Amino acid sequence: MKHSLLLLCKFIASFIAFTIGFFYFSEATFVDVTTFALLVTVVSYIAGDLFLLPRFGNTIALVGDFLFTYLAVWIFGSVLFHNYMLIAWGSILSAFVIAIGEVFVHRYMLKHSRSVQTNESTQTRFAFDTEFGEDEDYSEIQKKED
């Protein structure tokens, strides 16, 4: 049930983002917007939410979702539509809106899902501990030896 609710929320956010990005910046149809939203929803959920989020955390998952959305819209948009400047603005705006929506989806997933807990062993923790000791004054040691 939680997966279907999250997929529905991601689909609605993607649909809104692509509606803003495509309808205003290119000659996209309703079918194009729905197809892009469905593609980005499924791939982003599998790659970003089920793979990147548990292993690397929220920031890496957000960057991954942003880059995937941007590249998907740029590549597939340039194949379907032939106005590159409008595709550029549409893809950056769509990726930005989806990244904002992903913040809330990731927050919900991290709070309510047991299967998505950050793995502590993969997070690098550097141990740059130092030992503290008192330095001896070597001039006093040399005076005692003489």
Structure confidence by residue, pLDDT tens digits, 73-131: 888 877 777 777 777 787 888 889 888 888 888 888 778 765 545 444 445 555 566 66
Average pLDDT, integer, range 24-42: 83
More confident residue, 37 or 89: 37
pLDDT, tens digit (0-9, with 9 covering 90-100), for 2-20: 778 888 888 998 898 888 8
Q: What is the pLDDT of residue 118?
A: 47
More confident residue, 73 or 42: 42
Percentages (nearest 5) of helix, strand, coil residues in the chain: 75, 0, 25
Range in 19-23, 29-33, 59-63 the model is least confident about: 19-23
Q: What does each C-alpha distance from 53 to 61, 83, 101 come to in angstroms?
A: 5, 34, 15
38 band by pLDDT with thresholds 50, 70 and 90:
very high
Radius of gyration of the chain (CA): 25
Q: Please state, rounded to an integer, the average pLDDT across all residues of the chain.
A: 78
Q: What is the pLDDT of residue 131?
A: 61
pLDDT(134) > 70: no
pLDDT(56) > 50: yes
Burial bucket for residue 142 (CB in 10 Å: 0-12, 13-18, 19+) = exposed
pLDDT above 90 covers a percentage of the chain that reads: 2
